[in-house]
């Protein structure tokens, strides 16, 4: 079965055509795009179709696109999506006409990421906790990147189905005195403080800024340089890897809080099928994630510590997990 799939983001978009069947995905054509270079998604899609071999673009059975933004419920069999960081409105009906495909589905990008877990192999995962996995048990997918995504995978009718959530927006719950100071600092800025204000790219910047203001002799120019960077979180990570003490402390605090919320949501999900840490940040902090701070906070659940220890924990290394998930959803339409 020939399907088209995409991971549509505010910065980059990845599109592919693949042949799917017998539990395998054979990618026939794939291309990355800079999203900001296009006025709308349809223009980008037309460029992709013009670039791909003509024979591949005919006879597409179905298509699915994971979109970094809200997706409306189906109205008269039609969904619409708006990309959060671009003025793009995407409409399933228009895409069906453009692709000449009877079945087109728009889903949230993190729902696509969760759906892609089923397409991962051992080399796509780094093990943080082997646990005692249970077949067909619930799975939790959590991923820090631009925001904090959370989804559950539940077994139904012979396969795992992804159920999206807004779990990244639950209240931040500090676990020690330093984190309580961080909460008070962020409350002055935001009022209500959700985990996404702490566990995300912007969250790492918030943590670094908080720690910076606690140090009386901190270099203000250094902070301003980081805040002016096009990718402030990456700048902090680079400083941490060059042994800057404040940046290292920021990353350590970030990883610890990440582990704490992962453990809390593992309890909520009873994720005996596994906890999958996706998103763009974890692979870039692989050393720090393996150093123990993440799992120490994940396991710090009092009487429930033995329970969460039974649940396997993995870091998702595959950068294309979102488009893999969209491919599987397209196949299942």
Burial letters for 28-42: b for 16+ Cβ neighbours within 10 Å, e otherwise?
eeeeebebeebeebb
Domains 2-120+318-332 and 167-316 share a fold: no
- For residue 75, the model assigns a pLDDT of 75
pLDDT digits (tens, 9 = 90+) for 166-182: 899 999 999 999 999 99
Q: What percent of the chain has pLDDT over 70?
A: 99
Q: Any idea which of 74-83, 174-183, 260-269, 293-302 has the lowest mean pLDDT? A: 74-83
Whether residue 111 has pLDDT greater than 80 = yes
pLDDT tens string 125-153? 999 999 999 999 999 999 999 899 999 99
Phi, psi of 31 (to 5 degrees): -155, 140
Which DSSP helix (H) or strand (E) runs through 86?
none
Cα–Cα distance list, 6 to 30, 38, 138, 259, 297 (Å): 9, 16, 26, 30, 35
Domain residue spans of the chain:
2-120+318-332, 167-316
Domain 167-316, classified CATH 3.20.20.70, yes or no: no
The predicted model gives 219-226 an average pLDDT of 79
What confidence score (pLDDT) does residue 218 get? 65
| pTM across the whole model | 0.92
- CATH no. of 2-120+318-332: 3.30.420.40
The distance between the two most distant Cα atoms of the chain, rounded to a whole number of Å, is 65
* Per-position b or e across 290-312, b if 16+ CB within 10 A of its CB: eeebbbebbbbbeeeeeebbebb
Q: Range with the lowest mean pLDDT among 14-23, 189-198, 284-293, 297-306?
A: 14-23
Q: How far apart are CA 46 and CA 148, in angstroms?
A: 31
pLDDT at 311 over 90: yes
**Strands 274-278 vs 159-164: parallel, antiparallel or unpaired:** unpaired
Task: Answer whether 247's CB lies under 8 Å from 208's CB.
Answer: yes
Over range 297-319, report the average pLDDT: 98
Mean pLDDT of 316-328: 96
């Amino acid at each position: 079965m020939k399907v088209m799939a995409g991971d549509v983001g505010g910065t980059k978009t990845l599109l592919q055509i693949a042949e799917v069947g017998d539990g395998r995905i054979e990618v026939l054509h794939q291309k990355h795009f800079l999203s900001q270079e296009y006025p709308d998604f349809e223009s980008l899609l037309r460029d992709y179709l013009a670039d791909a071999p003509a024979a591949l673009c005919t006879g597409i059975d179905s298509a699915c696109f994971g979109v970094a933004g809200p997706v409306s419920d189906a109205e008269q069999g039609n969904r619409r999506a708006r990309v959060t960081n671009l003025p793009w409105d995407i409409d399933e009906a228009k895409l069906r006409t453009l692709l000449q495909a009877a079945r087109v589905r728009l889903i949230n990008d993190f729902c696509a990421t969760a759906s892609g877990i089923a397409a991962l192999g051992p080399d796509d995962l780094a093990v943080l906790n082997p646990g005692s996995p249970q077949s067909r048990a619930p799975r939790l997918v959590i991923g820090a990147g631009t925001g904090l995504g959370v989804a559950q995978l539940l077994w139904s009718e012979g396969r795992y189905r992804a159920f999206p959530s807004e779990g990244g927006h639950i209240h931040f719950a500090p676990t020690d005195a330093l984190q309580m100071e961080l909460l008070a600092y962020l409350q002055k800025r935001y009022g209500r403080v959700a985990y996404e204000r702490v566990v995300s790219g912007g969250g790492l910047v918030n943590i670094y800024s908080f720690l910076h203001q606690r140090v009386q002799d901190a270099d203000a120019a250094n902070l301003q340089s980081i805040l002016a960077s096009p990718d402030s979180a990456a700048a902090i990570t680079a400083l941490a890897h060059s042994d800057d003490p404040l940046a290292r402390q920021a990353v350590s605090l970030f990883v610890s809080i990440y582990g704490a919320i992962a453990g809390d949501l593992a309890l909520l999900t009873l994720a005996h099928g596994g906890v999958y840490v996706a998103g763009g940040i974890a692979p870039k902090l692989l050393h720090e994630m393996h150093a123990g701070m993440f799992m120490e906070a994940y396991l710090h659940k009092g009487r429930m510590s033995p329970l969460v220890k039974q649940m396997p924990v993995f870091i998702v290394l595959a950068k294309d997990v979102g488009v893999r998930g969209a491919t599987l959803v397209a196949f299942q339409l």
